[in-house]
Structure 1
Amino acid sequence: MPLFKLSDAVFDPILSIKSTAPVAAEQIGRRHVVDALITAPCPRARFLRSLNHFSTTVPQSPLSTIPHRKPQPSHSATLNSLLTTRYCHQVPPFSSLPRTFRRTIMSFGTSAASRLAGKTVLITGASSGIGRATAFEFVNASGGDIKLILTARREAALVSIKEEIEKAYPKSKVFPIAFDVSKLPAIDAFVDNLPAEAKDIDVLVNNAGMVHGVDQVGSIAQSDIDIMFQTNVFGLIALTQKLLPLFKEKGKGDIVNIGSIAGREPYPGGAIYCATKAAVKSFTETLRKELIASRIRVIEVDPGQVETEFSVVRFRGDKGKADAVYKGVEPLIAEDIAEVIVFAVSRRENVVIADTLVFPSHQASALIMHRKL
């Protein structure tokens, strides 16, 4: 990495950043910031001040840390910790920075927080797993300046999430509502009876989903077929249809459907679950095409192997069988998918992260995985 000379010093910030924030350093280097600033008529101290001013200060979240993972400081916080110790002078206006540099800084979080500020987000299946993690991710990314409508069948779990979030971020508003999306006749009443301050929904995250059993065709219980289609497909479609007129009236909004690798690649023992997720994919792609003349974004996130309560439910509470699914691998955790969801929603309004497939590093398809046994 070449050094660049400022008027009073030779300094290599990319090298300094690289040891603690390699991705940030790579992004800055890739966009040729060094070339863009090589002739900048400002002393070293003013350059450092400009970096410090425009990089985002993301405070450590007061919420509980992510399980199974060492807490990692954000690149934004890392940049600030490196740069705030420098002595600074006058700050140049943001517009004076080269366009390449400005667009790089936007990925660090300032714009994400401002885009989420004041929004109302409805998350189904929010009592655990990806839904729960997504609630925490939204409130962290917005600094608490957000309203969350959290739905699931387990009201006590939702109330616990509300208490934890509002204790950490008193400015936030959380509405826990016990609601089973598979009960289609109740959807109209659920939306119509939302609290007045929560009716103006900006983001719908259709996360609720389930799988029952690994039975093969010919021996699948009708009750399992019914509950999977009712929850994964019919409920998702019905809730989307109920909220779509609101989004059309506003002229904008985000619909995030949580699919699965199973919707792309069916596998033995998953005929019904795979069929439901394939239906979600077809519905999502059709909806995106139908809304092309609007500013309504339709986003699909398809996880690969994620360790949540999913497998416990699939094996009807048999924890031993559920644990065997993750033996010899390091699966994704719910927070990994939550990060993708919130990243997609917090992009510039003209940017649609339309379709995302997320694997852990040991997985290449629904059936191809490397296990260290």
Structure 2
Amino acid sequence: MAHLPILEAFVKLGKYLTEFCEYSYENPSDKHSNFERVIIQAQHQNGWFSRENIMYALKQWGDLLTDENLKRWLNTYTIDTQKSPKTVGIVMAGNIPMVGFHDFLCVLCSGNKVLAKLSSNDKVLLPFLAQYLMEQEPLLTERIEFTEGKLEGFDAVIATGSNNTSRYFEYYFGKKHNIIRKNRNSVAVLAGNETHEELQALGEDIFRYYGLGCRNVSKIFVPTDYDFEPFFNAVFKYGDIINQHKYANNYDYNKAVYLMSDFQILDNGFLILKEDEGFASPISALFYSRYESENELRKHLSESEEHIQCVVSNRKNTDDVPFGDTQKPKLQDYADGVDTMEFLLQL
């Protein structure tokens, strides 16, 4: 079990986040005014960070950071609380709000020190929450550090970025213990028997965070004779997304490129469907491929697992994520399938 005061600090943070998400709209108060200012600042710094999406991310963490959830997760590990802490550098991505929080949580719960380099796209949310944690448990003031400069003086590193930045990370961090993450995308497997509600839930997997997360569905696999009309009817409820100017600019640009290139596309006014073998569709577009045999498709997905974060479907008794749940990972759902806690405990 993790150091108990640290665990309790995260439980208090979970309660604080839950309270904030439940009452901030109806009853803004002095108690939460600083947090409100931080959220506004985060929106100004990153045009993709809508208040709705920031609040969604905070609510997910409020739901996860309970005493029961944390203990159930950590009880599967043997944590030596007497062991001298190592300093773990975390190079954080900034594609969606709080995307680096799970690594932050893992490092502290494993008894180690965080040395975090924040993305310029997400610079204020985590420091605010870290300050709250340090107020709950002063021990954490010695365990949490943020740096804007070059990462130095660390024993191990966790770095998240693109396929391009991963080469940079490999060069600089390759001689240290490391987890280096590259681009991944999520896919959905449709059988054609999905209900309207299931397809609506799939829309959440596609559109939440404007599709910027590695757990967002960027490609769907459909049977050869698939009729897209039920899908388009179901996702119509997300049409307001086109009112976000950055998303709309991407939609207009990608649609123009596809039309000028004579690609055959399907389009409903806010989402472009393009038949494409790739996994990583651009913002406002969704790739699709047709399949004849699901067994063959599953084999293909297994062979491509290094590109895939999660597979979504309504198949029971599989490791697939249910429709609508991609942005609700549990504490034991590690990015890229690499057990971060196990890595940290081996240092």
Q: TM-score of the superposition, structure 2-length normalised?
A: 0.38
* Greater Cα radius of gyration, structure 1 or 2: 1
Q: TM-score of the superposition, structure 1-length normalised?
A: 0.36
